[in-house]
Amino acid sequence: MRYLLFLFILFISCTNNLNRETVIRGYIYGTTYNILYFSEDELQLKVKIDSLFNVIDMSMSTYNSNSLISKINNNKEVKLDDHFKFVFNTSKKIYQQTNGDFDPSIGPLVNSLDFGPKTNNISADSLISLVGLDKFKIVDNRLIRPKNSFLDFNAIAKGYSVDVISEFLTNSKVANFLVEVGGEIRSSGMNLGSNRSWKVGLDTPRFDGVQKEIYKAFNLQDKSMATSGVYRKFKTDSLGNKYAHIIDPKTGYSSRTNILSVTVISDNCIDADAYATALHLMTLDEINLFVEKHNTISVFVIYEDDNNKMQHLSLNNFPSI
C-alpha cells in the first residue's frame, strides 16, 4: 500500500469558466482517490472519469469478484481486455528489469500472510512454485498460467489508473490538473487556484500510529510519483517483531528491511508505482546501482541507520523543498 500525503490549497472562486475548478473525490480499488482539474466541461468530464474507473475496476480489481483478474484467479477462461494486457506487459518489463523483485504473481504468498483479498493456511514454501511472472504469458487474448496461481496487480494498477485518467484529461484539452489514487500522483500544469505549481508532501514514516507529519514537501511539475512504505501495514508476532506487507517473491516471506519508504518520480505513474515496490526489496547499495542504470527516474529513500535514527537518500535530482 502507498502512503503519501499530497498538499494543495483549494480556491473556489475563479475568474472565468475556462478556469473553473472541479474536485472529485471517491473510493475505488479498496482505496480513495482525489482529482482536481480546471475546465469548463466539469460535469461531462466527471461522468467519463467515473466510467474509466469502473472499466479498470472490472478488469483488474482483486476486490471485485466479477473482474477479469478475479475470474482468472478462480481458474476461469476469459478474454483479456486492452487494460489488462497493457498492465501485464508493463509488469513483465519491470519484472525483467528488477530481476524478479517486482512480481504480481506473488498473490498466493500475499494471501497466505493475510495481506491480500483471500487467505489460506498453505505454507509459503509450497506456494512458491506458483510464483514467477516468467511462467505467465498471453496467447490469443488469453492468459496462460499455472493452475491455482493468483495474480495481484494492486502494486501497479493504481498507478495505471492515474495515467489513464490523466491522459483522458489531457486529450480533453485540460492542461492543469492533479490526479491521485491511493497515494499515487500525476500532475500537469499548475494549480490555478493558487497560481502556483502543484505541491506534494511525503509522510514521515512512523510505526506508532500518531498523527501524520510531513517529512518533505516539494513541487511536482508535469511528472508522476508513487511511494511504497512498510510503516502503516504490518503484522506483529508474539515476540513483537514487525513484518512488512511487501513480500519477497524469491523467498516467499515478508521482507525485513531498514528501509521505511521509497518514493519514485517518473514520467508515467504505472512505472513509478511498480518501481517503488521493487526498490523497497533492495538494499541501499542495490537501489543506488539500479538508479544509475535507469536514470530516467528520481528516487527518495527514508531509512533507519544502525542507531535506529531516521535518515534519507536522494537520488538522480529528486526535487528539493
Alpha-carbon span 13 to 57, nearest angstrom: 34
Measure the CA–CA gap between 192 and 213, rounded to whole angstroms.
Answer: 26
Write the pLDDT tens digit of every residue in 132-180. Answer: 999 999 999 999 999 999 999 999 999 999 999 999 999 999 999 999 9
Q: How far is CA 144 from CA 45, 91, 109, 138, 204, in A?
A: 37, 15, 20, 6, 42
In a domain, 69, yes or no: yes
Q: How far apart are CA 27 and CA 135, in angstroms?
A: 33
**Residue range 228-257, pLDDT digits in tens:** 986 655 556 666 655 555 677 777 776 677
pLDDT tens per residue, range 214-223? 899 999 999 9
Query: What is the pLDDT averaged over residues 76-80?
Result: 95
- Assess contact for 81 and 87: CB atoms under 8 A: no
Give the three-state DSSP class for 134: helix
**Which residues neighbour 160 within 8 Å (Cβ) at sequence distance 6 or greater?**
56, 60, 83, 86, 87, 90, 153, 269, 270, 273
Cβ–Cβ < 8 Å for 192, 14: yes
Q: Which ranges of 212-283 does DSSP label H, i.e. alpha helix?
A: 269-279
CA dist 217 → 159, 291, 297 (Å): 21, 22, 18
d(CA 48, CA 54): 10
Local structure of 111: helix, strand or coil? helix
Residue 89 CA to its chain's centroid (Å): 16
Provide the grid cell at 19: 478556469
SS3 277: helix
Q: Nearest 5°: phi and psi at 68?
A: -60, -45
Q: Which residues contact 47 (CB under 8 A, 6 or more apart)?
A: none
Q: What is the separation, in whole angstroms, between the first and last Cα of the chain?
A: 25
* Rounded distance between C-alpha atoms, residue 169 and residue 166, angstroms: 5
CB 120 within 8 A of CB 112: yes
Domain at 64, CATH number: 1.10.3980.10
Q: Stretch 10-24: mean pLDDT, rounded?
A: 60
User: Is pLDDT at 48 greater than 90 in this prediction?
Assistant: yes
**Among candidates 271, 62, 263, which has minimal Cα distance to 163?**
271
Range(s) of the domain holding residue 121: 59-144
Tell me the percentage of the chain whose pLDDT exceeds 70: 81
Least confident window among 75-79, 256-260, 287-291, 306-310: 256-260
Q: Is residue 302 part of a domain?
A: no
Short-list 146, 178, 173, 181, CA closest to 56: 181
The domain tally of the chain equals 1
Which helix (DSSP H) or strand (DSSP E) does residue 292 occupy? helix 284-293
Q: Which three cell numbers stand for residue 296?
A: 530516467
Which pLDDT belongs to residue 108? Answer: 80
| Inside any domain, residue 108 | yes
Position 93 in a domain: yes
Contact indicator for 252, 127 with CB cutoff of 8 Å: yes
Is the pLDDT assigned to residue 315 strictly greater than 60?
Answer: yes
